[in-house]
Structure 1
Amino acid sequence: MKKLCSALFLVAALSGCASITTSGDTQVKVETVTLDGQAVDAADCSLMRAGVATPFKSPNTVPVPKAAGDAGIECKKDGMPDGKAILISRVGAATFGNVLIGGGVGIIVDQATGKAYNFPEWIRVVMGKTLTFDRADHKAGEPTAGKDPLAPAPAK
């Protein structure tokens, strides 16, 4: 009986755990566009994450390993300036379920595995610009708005 109670507690404690309920990657849809928003097909892109470069052609959906810290994407196309993206990860909602359901065990596991974090799911790399894409700005079914990291903050 004691083992059954322990097993039931463990299931309840980990039920909100992102390590159990989510995959180890965020699938990021990457499109490339010109400054005026026209699609740029077959750009040579590279995802940089944890010192590893993963090449791909745009448009494409690429798996970005979940972890704290940023990821980068650089796209090149002959006759065009390079486009760069900085992807900012944020703690996902599944991790907050740990607080309500399972307490600290799941939070520790999610942080240790990196599965607590998510990246934006859809971005548009603008050729000739460097933009940041923050998961905090994510809206389901829409590309995440890119921001110029050097632009002054809006006045409040």
Structure 2
Amino acid sequence: MKLATIGAVVGALALSGCASVMNDSTHPMKVETKGESGEMITGADCKLTNDYGSFNVKSGDTTQIRRSGKDLDILCTHPGNPDATARAVSRANSGMYGNIILGGGIGALIDHNKGTAYTYPTWVQLQFGKSLVFDRSTEQNGQPVTPAEVAK
């Protein structure tokens, strides 16, 4: 009887997707903006867009972003400053790796399609007049992600 119960639990987890069980469909992202000389500017209007829609936030605040396997485009505007643009790279999270390790191919496919297997950087600092790329793979806990500048 115990073997049947264990089998049912393992089967349910494989079908539901490990990341779906471990992660919400959203996660927090703090968005900050800096002026061209590096000073912090709060209150800029920022629009974050991925394949699930657009999310608005004022710079200096944290918002919930819908997870996706697609990168997140960010545009911040503020009077008297040139636009600040960025791309936040989506990376597979531990839930996806759990699916792969545990052999949950079906779960990995479900989580990929739902976006729950992916995470964006949790803290970004855009700079007005620049186009930046933020990659979660360089994230260090408690620090904003160090950006790479896109050549114009």
Give 1:135 shift. Answer: 1.4
Deviations 1:18-40 (A, max 9, x none): 11001111211101111332110
Question: d(CA) in 2 for partners of 1:84 and 1:40?
Answer: 15
Q: What SS does the corresponding residue of 1:87 show, helix, strand or coil? A: strand
| Equivalent position of 1:133 in the other structure | 134
| Equivalent position of 1:142 in the other structure | 143
- Note if 1:107 corresponds to 2:117: no
| Equivalent position of 1:63 in the other structure | 64
Q: Which piece of structure 1 moves more, 7-16 or 30-39?
A: 7-16
Give 1:117 shift. Answer: 0.8
Give 1:119 shift. Answer: 0.4
* Superposition map of 1:1-156 within 5 A: 1=1, 4-11=5-12, 13=14, 17-50=18-51, 52-150=53-151
Give 1:95 shift. Answer: 1.2
Give the length in aligned residue pairs.
151
Deviations 1:90-143 (A, max 9, x none): 111221112223432321221121111110110001111110111121111110
Q: Which piece of structure 1 moves more, 105-114 or 82-91?
A: 105-114
Structure 1 length-normalised TM: 0.85
Question: d(CA) in 2 for partners of 1:13 and 1:7?
Answer: 10
Q: Percent identity?
A: 33
Contact kept, 8 Å, 2:46 with 2:76, in 1: the verdict is: yes
Q: What SS does the corresponding residue of 2:129 show, helix, strand or coil? A: coil
Give 1:16 shift. Answer: 7.7
Structure 1 stretches of 4+ moved >4 Å: none
Deviations 1:42-76 (A, max 9, x none): 11111122273332211111222111111111111
Q: Which amino acid aligns with 1:34?
A: G
Q: Which amino acid aligns with 1:83?
A: A
Change in 2 beyond 3 A, CA 1:57/1:107:
same
Change in 2 beyond 3 A, CA 1:137/1:78:
same
Change in 2 beyond 3 A, CA 1:97/1:76:
same
Q: Which amino acid aligns with 1:37?
A: G
